[in-house]
Amino acid sequence: MPSPPDSTRVRRPVSVRRFRAVDDAPGSIAVAGFVRAALPSAPARVLEVGAGAGELAEALTQAGYDVLAIDPAAQTPHVRAVPLHELEVSAASFDAAVAVVSLHHLEPLEESCRRLSELVRPGGVLVIDEFDVARFDERAARWLIDARGESLAVEHRDPEVLIAELRHHLHTLDDIRKALDERFTVGEPVRGPYLYRWGVPAGLREPEEELIATGGLPATGARLVGRRR
Ligand SMILES: C[S@@+](CC[C@H](N)C(=O)[O-])C[C@H]1O[C@@H](n2cnc3c(N)ncnc32)[C@H](O)[C@@H]1O
């Protein structure tokens, strides 16, 4: 279809353009939308746990939030290189915390979640986007291995090996919820697709969702919102 003339061209809303930085990876706009919808309105002070390269933190900053992004593997100046349990800032200094597929990596899990509860003020919001390794079964492993092809290391192309390795290294969603339970009230997870975001070619969200709908794949993604008591 040809583009409309300039005078009638549909402009992207400001909020979407601000998330341009996280627009490239499959699913990133959906994640940013979920996070924005769950956060209190800007301005608010937000801690991002496991921020990776800091794209979401940057987008939130552009949207008016005061963000501290942390990640022990940080390689960019705007993400502080520290694990959650060692973060030294004043107690109750955040209105909200965001964690996008990072809580399953936290070590030690209980101590890290306790630290998180000290940092978020009572009444503050916790926004969680997760992968639930307990649901990653042989069907999911086969789908991922096929979708990833040669981008997956040879030793991970065996479903049993891949499942065993992930279960060995990652916390389940149940374990994460138990660790948060002491001081956060966390809502029930909204389950959905996740594999399409895991280094696979673009365009696989719908096929994954169709398979979840027909029982061909487990829903390995989970989104939760909690509140600090
Ligand atoms: C799967 S990556 C997700 C990165 C980013 N949130 C994203 O969506 O692209 C998980 C991140 O959690 C970080 N991480 C691991 N242990 C952590 C800890 N104890 N405290 C904070 N972040 C941690 C890792 O270094 C890694 O960058």
pTM: 0.91
DSSP classification of residue 193 = -
Residues 6+ apart with CB under 8 A from 89: 68, 119
- Judge if the beta carbon of residue 222 lies within 6 A of ligand 1: no
| Sole residue written with tokens 């992968």 | 131
CA angle 35, 169, 144 (to 5 degrees): 70
Distance 128 CA to ligand 1 centre (A): 12
Q: Which pLDDT score is estimated for 38?
A: 98
- Judge if the beta carbon of residue 105 lies within 6 A of ligand 1: yes
The Cα–Cα gap between 82 and 38 comes to: 25
Cα Rg of the chain, angstroms: 18
Which among 19, 23, 105 is the best mutation to test ligand 1's pocket, defined by most ligand atoms within 8 Å of the CB? 105
Query: What is the residue extent of each domain of the chain?
Result: 16-134+171-228
Q: Which pLDDT score is estimated for 27?
A: 75
Q: What is the dihedral of CA 122, 40, 72, 102, to 10 degrees?
A: 100
Q: Which pLDDT score is estimated for 57?
A: 96
Pick out the chain residues at pLDDT < 50: 1-23
- Judge if the beta carbon of residue 102 lies within 6 A of ligand 1: yes
- Report which protein residue has its CA nearest ligand 1's atom 2: 102
The three-state secondary structure class of 49 is strand
Distance 216 CA to ligand 1 centre (A): 29
Distance 100 CA to ligand 1 centre (A): 8
Architecture of domain 16-134+171-228: 3-Layer(aba) Sandwich (3.40)
Q: Which pLDDT score is estimated for 10?
A: 40
CA angle 218, 221, 223 (to 5 degrees): 135
Q: Which pLDDT score is estimated for 143?
A: 98
Q: Which pLDDT score is estimated for 47?
A: 98
Q: Which pLDDT score is estimated for 19?
A: 43
Cis peptide before 40 (omega within 30 of 0): no
Ligand 1 atom at minimum distance from 72 CA = 25
Q: Average pLDDT of the chain?
A: 91
- Report which protein residue has its CA nearest ligand 1's atom 23: 50
Q: Which pLDDT score is estimated for 206?
A: 95
The Cα–Cα gap between 32 and 156 comes to: 29
The Cα–Cα gap between 104 and 176 comes to: 7
